[in-house]
Amino acid sequence: MHHNKAPGPNGMSPIFFQSFLHIISKDVVEAILSFFHSSFLLKSLNETIITLIPKVDVPINLTRYRPIALYNTFYKIISKLLVNRLKPFLNLYISENQSALLAGR
């Protein structure tokens, strides 16, 4: 995850987690383990803000905007952990005809 990505709804960007991991690591690990044991993520950690970014200097209608979703950084961390855990098994469950998003196909 790039450290300079936009912050999520709680205002914490990846650089916050990287800069203060030595202080918050115990709480972060505890929250991640709690998620993996319960499969439950607090609503505050699962919030996403969808906002519009103008494509041009003076947007006059909605087609001149691009939507962007700002996910909570904690949600991104858990998602990345899940993806990395599932990657070794994807080839077993996805058809050989499927090539998108699978390395080596």
Dist. CA 33–CA 25, nearest whole Å: 12
Q: If you average pLDDT over every residue of the chain, what do you get?
A: 86
Kindly report, residue by residue over 18-55, the tens digit of the pLDDT.
899 999 999 989 988 999 899 888 888 888 889 999 99
Q: Among residues of the chain, what percentage have pLDDT more than 90?
A: 34
What is the per-residue burial (b if ≥16 Cβ within 10 Å, else e) of 33-55? Answer: eebeeeeeeeeebeeeeeeeeee
The pLDDT, as a whole number, for residue 46 is 83
Dist. CA 73–CA 55, nearest whole Å: 25
Dist. CA 102–CA 105, nearest whole Å: 6
